[in-house]
Amino acid sequence: WSLDNFEIGRPLGKGKFGNVYLAREIKSKFIIALKVLFKSQLQKCHMEHQLRREIEIQSHLRHPNVLRMYGYFYDETRIYLILEFAANGEMYKFLKRQPHGRFSEPQTANYMAQLADALMYCHAQKVIHRDIKPENLLLGIHGEIKIADFGWSVHAPSSR
């Protein structure tokens, strides 16, 4: 992959190490989220190892409630993560827009069931996320949960 394979659209979010953009793969017209990370920022904060682990872990997970990582590529200054586009954005922002800043009980039960299912899958794959919070839960086109940001996750093959 290279940047030439994509048309870059609007920014979807900003992070400490870079930004996420809506993008489209030119040949297939497939819509993705492109996370652009700056190598200099990652190196300054000694986060290269963490990013390697995030890529290694997330690229192997396949579950409807886990954000897909389709691949990655890099150039001189940046690393690009090709991610599933979660059309309804962060659960955190959606939560803040709710009446009284909270979800209804049925809505909460639905989200919790999806989250439990996704976490059971991750744990069966010996993956521990370690940073579950509304900011790291995205919402797909049908309002389904997508666990994102595996930056703090670990692969724990031992059965401690």
Binding positions for ATP are 16, 35, 84-86, 135-136, 149
Residue numbers belonging to the annotated binding site: 16, 35, 84-86, 135-136, 149
Marked catalytic residue, from 4, 75, 117, 131: 131
* Residue 4 designated active-site: no
d(CA 149, CA 96) in angstroms, rounded, equals 20
DSSP run (H or E) holding 76:
none
Q: Are 139 and 88 in contact (CB under 8 A)?
A: yes
d(CA 12, CA 7) in angstroms, rounded, equals 14
For the sheet with 78-83, list strands across it. Answer: 6-14, 18-25, 31-38, 78-83, 69-74
Q: What is the rounded radius of gyration, in angstroms, for the C-alpha atoms of the chain?
A: 16
- Six token digits for residue 50: 């963490």
- Residues labelled as active-site residues: 131
